[in-house]
Structure 1
Amino acid sequence: MGSAASTLLRELALCASVDFALQWVLWALAALLKTERFFDLAGSGTSLLLAHLTLRWGKTKHQRQKIQTWLVTLWGLRLGAFLFLRILRAGHDRRFNYVRGNPRTFFIYWTVQGVWVFLTLLPTMILNLEKHNKPLGMRDYLGWCTWAVGFIMEAVADQQKWNFQRDPANMGKFIQSGLWAYSRHPNYLGEILHWLGLFISASSVFQGAQHICAISPLFVWFMLNNVTGIPVLERQAMKKWGNALAFQQYLKNTPVLWPWKF
């Protein structure tokens, strides 16, 4: 293994140490207070921290690296603030109803968040630590356009649902307007496109084994589609509206994630 590869691995190991140390310290505080209010904020905040730390550690600050870092920053600031305000408004997160009082299970949630942060941010961290550079090209512009579509889609979907739920006339109803008329989970689709776009652009300078960073968008898709996102919300929706004819029609006519049927 060359010295450059060894240095990169050491720096990634340091990133992982920072990542998990933050999650575990914050877990201790959250377990003590029996609260999940800053869980999502901690995840997006850790992503921002690692993106800027690796940009600084890499010392090159090429144009691609700076753009990538600030795209992560825009995503993290918007999503972190939105999720924090949402939980302040709701007072709790249903995902943690049987968890916040169990420190061991709560620890698993915080640890999984550490894994999530590291894997999703891997293309950005490797890009920022990589000394090799290439002129900006079509792959970069394709990646950034994909990121923009995902960022706008997620932000618009989140705001549409926020506005819908704040309207007293919609009490007890489910949203099926705006982007939610084309996908039952457009915010998650936007999240997947966000990380896919960042991988596409960063891959412009990847060499050899660095292409393993494709795990980033694949991991996000798998987790949201099969583990933490869609399955949980679909079960909750079926429990709440499963017997309603309007909801049954919505399920029939609206794709789960992608706004077209395969």
Structure 2
Amino acid sequence: MSFPVAHLFVVLGSSLLAVAVLMAISFAIGAATGKYSIIDAIWGPGFVVIGIVSFLVSAGGNYGDPTLRWVALAAVAIWGLRLGGYILLRNHGLPEDPRYVKMLEGHSKFMIVRKVQVPQGVIMWFVSIPVQVAMLLPSPALWLVWVGALVWLVGITFEGIGDAQLARFKSDPANKGKLMKTGLWRYTRHPNYFGDSAVWWGLFLMVAWTWIGLLTVLSPILMTYLLVAKSGKALTEKRMAKSKPGYAEYVNSTSGFFPLPPKKGAVTA
């Protein structure tokens, strides 16, 4: 069976419409509550919405391999719901994120739409393209699907454990002002960002056995670039360097992204 290119455009268009609706809902919630940071909690579940829409729209044409479709949907759902739930709990009871407060100074609330929601919506849609393609691929190379699932599992494990370790560390008043550098944080300064990247490389591998799947490589590349050079690692490290004593030493002793043994002489407790 050949790949249904025409139906892919139907799936892509449907998911883009779903993203637009989701961003509108996010803006409405922000306007009603005064907390536009809700977009952060919606980020992960937004991918789940795309996965479900892609799954349902593609089902109408009886396209795709059932195993690959369900594996891709389950993978993106587990990742997205875990991340969304974690961020929602982390931000519960906190005031508006200072980033958005600063962004709105002297501007109307629609500045959030232009500078946050539209870019995030487009990125969400683009990064999710491997999942959308997975819904339409026939007779997959199962060995590569399971390799991708293994990479995804490594990613979700690093991200989940890293977030849990950091949350537990921050919950202890004795650690106020201190730097987290134990557990997975001993091997990488950003186990959550590394895990996030691995999740999307795993999803890409699930479809990389076809020419159309290979074309989606820009999706995990974009996600990794954002995590390393833009909103993830770079932004976090800039803030940490100013607020956490001893962060320079931590940088010198611990891998910046990919997990590696700490350098000799590193302080890990």
Q: Same fold (TM over 0.5)?
A: yes
CA distance in 2, matches of 1:95, 1:187: 21
Asked if structure 1 preserves the Cα contact closer than 8 Å seen for 2:14 and 2:53, the reply is no
Q: Which of 155, 162, 165 is equivalent to 1:157? A: 162
Deviations 1:178-227 (A, max 9, x none): 111111111000000000001101223x334x422111110111111111
Q: Which of 100, 112, 121 is equivalent to 1:114? A: 121
Within 5 A, what are the aligned runs for 1:146-185? 146-185=151-190
Deviations 1:108-164 (A, max 9, x none): 211121022112211011111x15223522x11210110000000000000010011
What is the letter of the counterpart of residue 80 of structure 2? Answer: G
CA distance in 1, matches of 2:258, 2:111: 32
| Structure 2: tracts of 5 or more residues without a match | 262-269
Percent identity for Structure 1 against Structure 2: 23
Asked if structure 2 preserves the Cα contact closer than 8 Å seen for 1:148 and 1:194, the reply is yes
Asked if structure 1 preserves the Cα contact closer than 8 Å seen for 2:152 and 2:202, the reply is yes
| Structure 1: tracts of 5 or more residues without a match | none
SS in 1 for 2:15: helix
Deviation, structure 1 residue 49: 1.4
TM-score by length of 2: 0.86
Within 5 A, what are the aligned runs for 1:122-133? 122-128=129-135, 130=136, 132-133=138-139
Which one is further off, 37-46 or 146-155? Answer: 37-46
Q: Which of 221, 226, 229 is equivalent to 1:226? A: 229
Deviation, structure 1 residue 89: 4.6
Deviation, structure 1 residue 6: 2.3
SS in 2 for 1:173: coil
Asked if structure 2 preserves the Cα contact closer than 8 Å seen for 1:37 and 1:84, the reply is no
CA distance in 2, matches of 1:82, 1:6: 37
CA distance in 1, matches of 2:70, 2:169: 36
Q: Is the counterpart of residue 104 in structure 1 residue 110 in structure 2? A: yes
What is the letter of the counterpart of residue 71 of structure 2? Answer: I
SS in 1 for 2:219: helix
Within 5 A, what are the aligned runs for 1:188-199? 188-199=193-204
SS in 1 for 2:142: coil
CA distance in 1, matches of 2:3, 2:199: 32
Q: Which residue of 2 aligns with 1:24?
A: 24
Asked if structure 2 preserves the Cα contact closer than 8 Å seen for 1:62 and 1:133, the reply is no
Asked if structure 2 preserves the Cα contact closer than 8 Å seen for 1:34 and 1:100, the reply is no
CA distance in 1, matches of 2:132, 2:23: 18
CA distance in 1, matches of 2:97, 2:164: 18
What is the aligned length? 253
SS in 2 for 1:90: coil
Deviation, structure 1 residue 29: 3.5
CA RMSD, Structure 1 to Structure 2 (Å): 2.1
CA distance in 1, matches of 2:236, 2:181: 15
What is the letter of the counterpart of residue 195 of structure 1? Answer: W
Q: Which residue of 2 aligns with 1:78?
A: 82
Q: Which residue of 2 aligns with 1:15?
A: 15
